[in-house]
Amino acid sequence: MRGRGWVKFWVGVLLAELILAAGFLIGDLIYFPKVNRHIAEEIVQVANDWGYVLKYMLTQVWLPLIILLGGFAWAVRAVCRYTDTHFQANRFSKIRTGEILFLIVLLTFLGIRGHIGRGKSLGVADVYNYAASPAGAALTLNGAFTAYQVGRKGAMEISNAFPADKALELTQKRFVAADETVPDENYPLMRQAQPDDKPLAKDYNVMIVLLEGWHPYYVDGLSGQNFGATPVFDDILKNGVNFTNAYAAGLRSIFGFAAVFAGVPLVPGLPMFGYG
């Protein structure tokens, strides 16, 4: 075994991995029952928004961040002091060290491939044979495992042989009316009505209220109940139009923004509509 500094370095690395994995699993355990999906997919979805996430962490939640970093520093210091107290130099020969490493790798490989015990390699589908419910099986495939699977496969590759300029041309023919123009080439689906000699009518502006996590049953204006929890929204409904037939645009808020504001659901290959 090498010196004290070498041991303390690897103890710190293992401690960081343990804290990261524990935090990942705790967060996934809290997140999964609410949406029935793991947090790994959400991390992949915000991959292009890390600038916004870091800015939010440093400006809005800086105090919890400092507390967490302070707790991590305290844990590392405590483990290093424990290592100093109980460290004992124990030197192995290179041959013995190589034998131990080879044995660890061999046992790990055989265990993963299922050659110790049943003789069957472990797969994702195996968990559904032993769980009481599909939700329990999905939760057993914890966030750390699903994050590893997503990271191993990499980003989803979108292949579309249809020319983008041709698709844009066809879309503009369908969306842009004869009395409309496209004011900015950077936003090819933005439309602007052409001015004419007629006086402007005093029409009302359109206001979009996007509510997330609201069930129609608890809105008195929609369900006819008398909960009294949504008085302002009930007044808006009296002068509005209620569409009872709706279609889901996705499982995340950012998909709803694109569908409501742009009128087009977010499809693979298109950029996200804002930060979410």
Output the pLDDT for position 97: 77
Q: Give which of 32, 274, 255, 9 is closest to 141, Cα–Cα.
A: 32
Q: Are residues 15 and 82 in the same domain?
A: yes
The CA distance from 66 to 58, in Å, is 10
| Model-wide pTM > 0.75 | no
Output the pLDDT for position 126: 66
Q: Are residues 98 and 183 in the same domain?
A: no
Q: Are residues 27 and 69 in the same domain?
A: yes
- Residue-level pLDDT, tens digit, the chain, 276 residues: 557 777 778 888 888 888 888 877 777 777 777 766 777 767 766 666 677 778 888 888 888 889 988 988 888 888 888 887 877 666 667 788 788 889 988 887 776 665 565 555 556 666 777 767 766 676 667 666 766 666 666 555 666 677 878 888 888 888 888 888 888 888 887 888 777 666 656 666 777 777 777 788 888 888 888 888 888 888 888 887 777 777 777 767 777 777 777 777 776 666 666 544
**Beta carbons of 65 and 58 less than 8 angstroms apart:** yes
Q: Find the domain containing 97 and state its range.
A: 92-121
Output the pLDDT for position 64: 85
Q: Are residues 99 and 175 in the same domain?
A: no
Q: Are residues 86 and 97 in the same domain?
A: no
The CA distance from 76 to 216, in Å, is 50
Q: Are residues 35 and 78 in the same domain?
A: yes
List the structure tokens of 166: 């041709």
Main-chain dihedrals φ then ψ at residue 180, nearest 5 degrees: -125, 155
Output the pLDDT for position 55: 83
Residue ending a domain, choose from 144, 169, 203:
203
Output the pLDDT for position 45: 67
Whether 262 is in a domain gets the answer: no
Whether 270 is in a domain gets the answer: no
The CA distance from 17 to 27, in Å, is 15
Output the pLDDT for position 276: 40
Q: Are residues 34 and 141 in the same domain?
A: yes
